[in-house]
Chain A
Amino acid sequence: MSETKIKITGLRKAFGKKVVLNGVDLDVEKGESLVVIGGSGTGKSVLIKCIQGLLQPDGGSIQIDGEETVGVNEREQNRLHSKMGMLFQGGALFDSLRVWENVAFGLIENQKMPRKEARTEAVRVLRQVGLAPDVADLYPSELSGGMQKRVSLARAIATKPEIIFFDEPTTGLDPIMADVINDLIIESVKGLGATALTITHDMASARKIADRIAMLYQGKIIWQGTVKELDKTENEYVRQFINGSSQGPIKVEI
């Protein structure tokens, strides 16, 4: 039996009166790629922000490698962050820094690598995600959306994290570029032997990169299983979501 990397129990988070997470229970095994699917505004982003400590949960527990992470101090938080990498939805590249400085940011600031060495490493990682070395000296605003995603991916994996989070990795990309990013995600996660947690509503992407899929609905995990099980499930909510139908138990508030 493999060990549990992330163990979430009874996670709750509300913004004012709006309850977003209402008792989420979810385990992520070491080395697996788990994809959380769910409609827009169901709290997928809130979930991974809670796991990363970017948001303070109202209740519940999140354990990483068996250590409780909710309510730890800043130093502990930093130590936890050095285990994690994150690909943000919009890229979230630092626009005042060059591409290589973005990729090398964690290496320089956190691992105290000398700048020259960090640059070499950044160029290596950039090549790994399919970007030529001459991109390194550009600024993020000079790149296309697909290239920015690649740079963001490079920044997320540069520090060789144990856990990588992907927030809607394919949103805003054309289907071909989305598939390229999917391949890169699979490659880099397998290459590092990392645990991956992805949130998306792109089912093609979810099927491709997931070992296991969980569905978040109304603040709870209502279904989880492998991709195979996904196609056979009788769960009406899941079926409606993967078929992309407006008819079914999930009512969209307009």
Chain B
Amino acid sequence: MENKIQSFLQALGKPLVVFFMRLGNLTMFIGQSLYHCITPPFYFKLLGRQFLDIGFYSLPVVGLTTVFAGMVIALQSYTGFARFGAESAVASVVLISVTRELAPVLSGLMVAGRIGAAMAAEIGTMRVTEQIDALRTLSTNPFKYLVAPRIIAGIIVLPLLVFIGDVIGIFGGYVIGVYKLGFNPANYINSTLQNMETLDIVSGLVKAAVFGFIITLMGCYNGYRSRGGAQGVGEATTNAVVSASILILIFNYIITELFFAN
């Protein structure tokens, strides 16, 4: 009996130790990353490149995702609300769901796939080909040179992307509302503007900033810790995208709760 308990505890203990080791590693990684984000020297040229990579080149993806999200919400809410005779609420439903949820979450997930994977692959390859060691032997801190520009860019760029996504998503709803469902354009716009509240948009942008941090952090962390050649880099890439996506969904709930559940 005693032996059984012992082996049970052992079986439980090992994953637990590994879990806390990982958690500790991640915490230290976050600490170091943030420290190097706020202390000079800053690499503005590298920051610029990240703005372009994360922001500008993600525009088509974010635009497409949000325009269709806005369109489908308009259509769904119209047909769904017809049961209660509440079709007139379409404009405000589109507004609220796009700004609070759809634009930040969908953009976050899309950018996680696009950017998180690319970052993990790039930094992972640099790790396994000893380029990160080479940086250090040239007296350059890899956190400062590789991680900080990506995280700073992620935190700043994602809200901008999501703001653009808000506009495009609402426009998508408008197009369906006016051209398919037969709303009067002026009424639709009026109803959108009247129901617009700062908190809806701000909460979405705060989410975006947090998601930007999560995506870039997971990309850098998994890349930085990758081991063992091409296979290791592949694993890092997968882990970066999966962990970022899950964390986005978890933090989406937490932030919503903080903002709206009084």
User: CB within 8 Å of B: which residues of A?
Assistant: 49, 52-54, 74, 78, 81-82, 84-86, 88-90, 92-95, 105-106, 109-110, 155, 159
In this complex, the member of B126, B130, B135 whose beta carbon has the largest number of chain A beta carbons within 10 angstroms is: B130
B61 within 8 A of A: no
Looking at the assembled complex, report how far the CB atom of A89 sits from the nearest CB atom of chain B, in whole angstroms: 7
Main SS at interface, chain A = loop
A86/B140 in contact, CB under 8 A: no
CA distance A105 to B138 in the complex (A): 7
Q: Which A residues touch B138, using CB under 8 A?
A: 81, 105-106, 109-110, 155, 159
Q: Which B residues touch A94, using CB under 8 A?
A: 126, 131, 134-135
Looking at the assembled complex, report how far the CB atom of B64 sits from the nearest CB atom of chain A, in whole angstroms: 28
A54-B136, A81-B136 given; A88·B141 CB < 8 A: no
B137/A85 in contact, CB under 8 A: yes
B7 within 8 A of A: no
B134/A109 in contact, CB under 8 A: no
5 A-B contacts, Cβ less than 8 Å apart? A53-B136, A81-B139, A94-B131, A106-B138, A109-B139
B133 within 8 A of A: yes
B25 within 8 A of A: no
Q: Which B residues touch A110, using CB under 8 A?
A: 138-140
B184 within 8 A of A: no
CA distance A54 to B129 in the complex (A): 14
Q: Which A residues touch B126, using CB under 8 A?
A: 94
> Which of chain B's residues has its CB closest to A74's CB?
B141
Looking at the assembled complex, report how far the CB atom of B149 sits from the nearest CB atom of chain A, in whole angstroms: 13
Q: Which B residues touch A90, using CB under 8 A?
A: 129-130
In this complex, the member of B131, B133, B137, B141 whose beta carbon has the largest number of chain A beta carbons within 10 angstroms is: B137
Docked complex: B127-182 residues within 8 A CB-CB of A: 129-131, 133-141
B133/A54 in contact, CB under 8 A: yes
Looking at the assembled complex, report how far the CB atom of B12 sits from the nearest CB atom of chain A, in whole angstroms: 21
Q: Which 8 A-B pairs have the closest CB atoms?
A: A92-B130, A92-B134, A110-B139, A81-B139, A106-B138, A78-B139, A86-B137, A88-B130
Q: Which B residues touch A54, using CB under 8 A?
A: 133, 136-137
CA distance A53 to B137 in the complex (A): 9
A88/B140 in contact, CB under 8 A: no
Q: Which A residues touch B130, using CB under 8 A?
A: 88-90, 92
> Which of chain A's residues has its CB closest to B136's CB?
A54
Q: Which A residues touch B137, using CB under 8 A?
A: 52, 54, 81, 84-86
> Which of chain A's residues has its CB closest to B126's CB?
A94
Looking at the assembled complex, report how far the CB atom of A97 sits from the nearest CB atom of chain B, in whole angstroms: 10
> Which of chain B's residues has its CB closest to A106's CB?
B138
